[in-house]
Amino acid sequence: MKKILVGCIAILLFGLNTSKAQRFAYVDTEYILDMLPEYKSAQKQLDLIAETWQKEAEEKKAEIDRMQKDFQAEQILLTEELKKKKEADIKAKEAELKEFMNKKFGYEGDLFKKRQELVKPIQDKVFDACQKIAKQSALDFIFAKGGEMIMMYSNAKYDKSDEVLLELGVNVTKNKNTAPEGTKAPGNK
């Protein structure tokens, strides 16, 4: 889907009236987010939550394993009725574990919702800063580099990531684009 969107944007860029040159830049969203203390804090919170839920899932799995071992050891001595009951209990625990995993880690699960709660406001701030930079620099487009969008080559002079960070109040001590032009700067992929 993103490839289609990028393709459409590219067609628009080149298909628009060529009498006026289009001005564009890009930002490295992964770099920007990694430089934001509030993003790092949100990631730590998410990691702790995920770790807690993972431990809980491991405990549930250990209980199921114990139940299965106990069943295997007792199986010879049990009546058919007791065997069916123990098997049903094990299957119920397995279903409970699966439901727990989906509720916590599944698509639109609790972890997804918590990530939205913690990270979306930060992403919105980055978006607003990008818009401000675009207006200040009279840019027509700002592309996001990072995640799934792939840039095979990018000239560092068009990278506005440090300007976005400055707009967000992050003091950038070392410009990520200190590598010579035409080479890969740290953060350029």
- The verdict on residue 64 lying in a domain is yes
- The verdict on residue 53 lying in a domain is yes
> Residue 179 corresponds to which amino acid?
A
- The verdict on residue 182 lying in a domain is no
Question: How high is the pLDDT of residue 153?
Answer: 53
Say whether pLDDT at 161 is over 60.
yes
- The verdict on residue 172 lying in a domain is no
- The verdict on residue 142 lying in a domain is no
Domain with 93 in it? 47-112
Average pLDDT over residues 82-93: 95
- pLDDT classification of 22: cutoffs 50, 70, 90: confident
Question: How high is the pLDDT of residue 106?
Answer: 92
Residues 6 or more apart whose Cβ sits within 8 Å of residue 11? none
Question: How high is the pLDDT of residue 145?
Answer: 80
Alpha carbon dihedral 175, 179, 180, 182, in 10-degree steps, equals -110
- The verdict on residue 72 lying in a domain is yes
- The verdict on residue 17 lying in a domain is no
> Residue 39 corresponds to which amino acid?
Y
Number of compact structural domains in the chain: 1
- The verdict on residue 187 lying in a domain is no
Question: How high is the pLDDT of residue 66?
Answer: 97
Least confident of 6-20, 53-67, 106-120: 6-20
Share of the chain above pLDDT 70, in %: 76
- CA gap 188, 146 in Å, rounded: 9
Say whether pLDDT at 54 is over 90.
yes
Question: How high is the pLDDT of residue 163?
Answer: 87
